[in-house]
Amino acid sequence: MTDRTEEKFYDKKISRRQMLKYTGAGAAGVAIGASGLGGVLKVFGMVEEEDNPRSKNKFNFYGKHQSGIATECQSYVYFASLNVLVNSQQELMDLFKMWTPIAVRMMNGEQIDGQTSNMLIPAQDTGESVGLDASNLTLTFGVGPSLFERESLSLASKKPAELKDLPHFPKDQLDPAYTGGDICIQACADDPQVAFHAVRNLVRAASGKVSLKWTQAGFNSFPMKGKKKETPRNLFAFKDGSVNPNGSKEAEMNEVAWIDAGQSKGWMTNGTYMAVRRVQMHLETWDRTALQEQEATFGRHRDTGAPIGKEKEMDEVDLEEKDSNGEYVISEASHVRLAKKSKQKIYRRSFSYSSGVMDSTGTFDAGLLFISFQKDPKQFIAIQNSFGREDKLNEYITHRGSALFACFPGVQKGGFIGDSLFSII
């Protein structure tokens, strides 16, 4: 199909869809007023939306894997952990079916209802993204271990053995307000309002079916070299994610993140496990620390991101190199050395956050929303255990939040979010 033919095809698709939605508005109006968008879907069946090839700054919704994982990282995230309120597997499946066309439209940069046709009822879309394009919005959905423990949902037999709460790590001081959840939505975009709008409207459409457990907004700033994004810096001013696998290379992601057939429960094939940690960074303490000590803590030079003793960010980390006094150039308690010793790889997709103050002393509530994807949670657990109590960085951080989610494989056209969970053992 040529681009021109594809555009004509898409226009016809829109036309038929709009006619379906708005023809016979008198009959549908009752359902819309009574139960919002869910009522429309019940009247007409699940509306199938298409990725719009004409949308600006857009990632596709449909594909082998969910967006927002290997996708090039955006500047903003709005992460939400939800509690499920439905009481049957059918209701849960209907929830994901309802969310699917909404997600496609928002990733197209479109309003979820196309247009407001009845001024006497609340608009279906909250409207704060009107006039903005797709802003490279991605939506990633996952389910937590607690979902499978709800007897009414009858999902216990489908729970992967790997999906369980992360263990308690040394120096954890977890706040229950930032732990766990039945479902997660990770909305990433290059506009913070687009990311927030996505979560807001998904939760609003699911009123009475889910409730918010905890949320966190985050941000990244990417230095540019030509047209290429360079590694962003965290709030300690060090480059964050220098040795990340290349998300655009399927072979690397197959090794680190994507679940193979037979590795886990069948419904997880081509999915991944998401570890989420809300890490408070003690900025006041860090800011009183000498630069040399800061660099020794990470095992990297702050300005270049190069390993200690090297010149470039991507230079190989040499753990055996010693100085003239016979001491390791990269400290034995440095963050980079301990991570390297674990011999594990994960795919990082982290964001900084700043959420006001912690208490009456005016201490910043700021830090890192650490997000990583891996084929098996053991990869992340091994790295975290390697840090243990030895990691010099422990002096400057406290882990406050923790969660683990199983992220579904991608959605194929004609399917819906999480459909493999309901059709494959």
Dist. CA 348–CA 370, nearest whole Å: 8
- pLDDT averaged over every residue in the chain: 89
Task: Take residue 305 and report the two structure tokens written for it.
Answer: 């991101």
| 370 Cα distance to chain centroid | 10
Higher pLDDT, 118 or 19: 118
Looking at residue 177, its pLDDT comes to 96
Q: Torsion angle, CA of 149/188/280/215, rounded to 10 degrees? A: -50
User: With bands split at pLDDT 50, 70 and 90, how would you rate the model's confidence at 148?
Assistant: very high
Contacts of 148 (CB under 8 A, 6+ apart): 155, 156, 158, 159, 163
- As a whole-number percent, the residues of the chain with pLDDT over 70 amount to 88
In the prediction, which pLDDT does 36 show? 43
The predicted pLDDT at position 119 comes to 84
- Average pLDDT value for residue range 286-305: 97
b/e 272-287 (16+ beta carbons within 10 angstroms → b): bbbbbbbbbbbbeebe
Q: Are 380 and 374 in contact (CB under 8 A)?
A: yes
Answer whether 402's CB lies under 8 Å from 175's CB.
Answer: no
Q: Which of 56, 55, 69, 54 is nearest to 410 (CA)?
A: 69
Cα 348 to Cα 222: distance, rounded to the nearest angstrom: 15
Contact 369, 352 (CB under 8 A): yes
pLDDT digits (tens, 9 = 90+) for 314-352: 999 999 999 989 999 999 999 999 999 999 999 999 999
Under DSSP, the state recorded for 233 is: B
CA distances from 72 to 58, 105, 407 (A): 12, 20, 18
The 8-class DSSP code of residue 323 comes to -
- In 167-257, which residue ranges form alpha helices assigned H by DSSP? 192-205, 250-256
- What is the pLDDT confidence band of residue 146, given thresholds at 50, 70 and 90? very high
pLDDT at 38 over 70: no
Give the mean pLDDT of 60-78. Answer: 98
β pairing state of 397-407 and 228-229: unpaired
pLDDT given at position 180:
98
Cα gap 354→366, rounded to integer Å: 4
Per-residue model confidence as pLDDT tens digits over 209-254:
999 999 999 999 999 988 889 999 999 999 999 989 999 999 999 9
Phi-psi region of 157 (alpha: psi -120 to 50; beta: other; left: phi over 0): alpha
What pairs with residue 272 in β-bridges?
A: 407
